[in-house]
Homo-oligomer: A and B are copies of this chain.
């Protein structure tokens, strides 16, 4: 990196907020699952919106390309440059203020670098719920959540990050600041620019702050771990629960027996809460604004579901400790797969009602492709979003198995496409799925995306090589 570039950036953010030493850059360049290592000229850490703006003004004047980064927890490489290393990483971590919490209006305004967990805690301290919830919440940031339109385990009731945002502050490619930090529930005064930046993975602008929606804290939650015979039954149970579980259905997650086996085998303290094994399980949670009646309603609901054969066995958490134990079975599911060798991953969605067909066909397809492989499909059945992970055959060579990643992706994505699904339900496109896009997107849509990109970032400075 040229001394003049370091000097220019240091002039904006201070010398100690420009990192160019290769070792010191490692935390910003290491993909957290160790799938690859990135390269960059430098990491710049602005401490305010004005500094982000000044960095982008400088970048625009000098043709420097910039990759915005939050908590570096992304799953598709959108936050890490992997090409020639000419990019500058712009870390938002120092923009970490909770600017305001407004319980009377059910909103909070936070900066991009605030971790999701801190945002949740700030809401709860004011007696409110910020419902976005996902595995990396301790380290991912609100800015990253919004730029990738993060999902997680509460989408069925509260929506993705997109649905939880009322307003944004964004630094544009030329350094101008768009102040769209509105607290309004309704505003029809022009184009919806907010949603254009949300989910654009840092390629159209840099989100520096956001107004988030808050909700009343649920007064009661009923959490159940349910044995279900098959995905068809799980789907019927889902529709039954949406219609009449006695409160708001806030979680509906599916997992196969092998997933539970992996968790029990590898996660310390985890145990199967049911006496007999079942081919599939559902973690269901219903929330209510009043204690009274919720348990009774859910028990009655489960009684019916047992009678109808949708559920074959059930455990209802009787304490917060038991609730945590049930949730742990779901939360550990991703991590424990690393103990079973290589795992080829897909983050797909299909129309909800097509989920059983997708599972049947995709399991058959990967088993035909790699005999002995072990599908561990799990996730957000309530959103039609399955993390279709496939562990290697027992005893197989990990590297050889992972070399088939592309071929397996192709087989699974072909089924997804036939069922009019999405090859990235909640993780985004980033760098890892960019090459897949032309295969699944209507050319008109791709062209519209390119048109928008060219209009908002005509010099191509923002996160080049990501998404498009």
Binding site for B on A (CB under 8 A): 102, 104-107, 148-149, 151, 155-156, 159-160, 162-163, 172, 176-180, 182-193, 195-196, 198-200, 204, 216, 219, 235, 239, 242-246, 248, 289-290, 292-293, 297, 349-354, 380, 382-385, 420-429, 433, 437, 440-442, 444-446, 448-449, 451-456, 467-468
Contacts and interface: CB of A to CB of B under 8 A. Distances in A.
A186 B426 contact: yes
Please give the count of copies of this chain that the complex contains. Answer: 2
Contacts of A219: 243-244
Given A151-B188, A178-B442, A191-B200, 6 more contacts: A105-B353, A159-B163, A179-B442, A189-B440, A190-B446, A452-B455
19 contacts: A107-B351, A151-B188, A172-B444, A182-B422, A184-B350, A184-B421, A184-B422, A186-B426, A188-B422, A188-B426, A189-B422, A190-B445, A190-B468, A216-B244, A219-B244, A245-B289, A246-B289, A292-B297, A448-B456
B190 A449 contact: yes
A199 B188 contact: yes
A302 to B, nearest CB: 14
B425 A184 contact: yes
Contact of A104 (B190, B235, B444): B235
B188 A244 contact: no
Q: A380, A429, A451 — which one has the most chain B CB atoms within 10 A of its CB?
A: A451
A184 B351 contact: yes
B383 A185 contact: yes
Which one of A177, A243, A428 has the highest number of Cβ atoms from chain B below 10 Å of its Cβ? A243
Contacts of A245: 289
Contacts of A382: 185
Contact of A297 (B193, B290, B350, B429): B290
A190 B441 contact: yes
A257 to B, nearest CB: 25
Contacts of A297: 290, 292
A386 to B, nearest CB: 10
A290 B244 contact: yes
Contacts of A385: 185-186
Contact of A163 (B163, B193, B204, B292): B163
A290 B300 CA distance: 12
Contact of A188 (B149, B183, B192, B456): B149
Contacts of A452: 191, 193, 196, 452, 455-456
Contacts of A428: 188
Contacts of A179: 442, 444-445
A169 to B, nearest CB: 11
B244 A289 contact: yes
- A184, A243, A380, A467: which has the most chain B beta carbons within 10 Å? A184
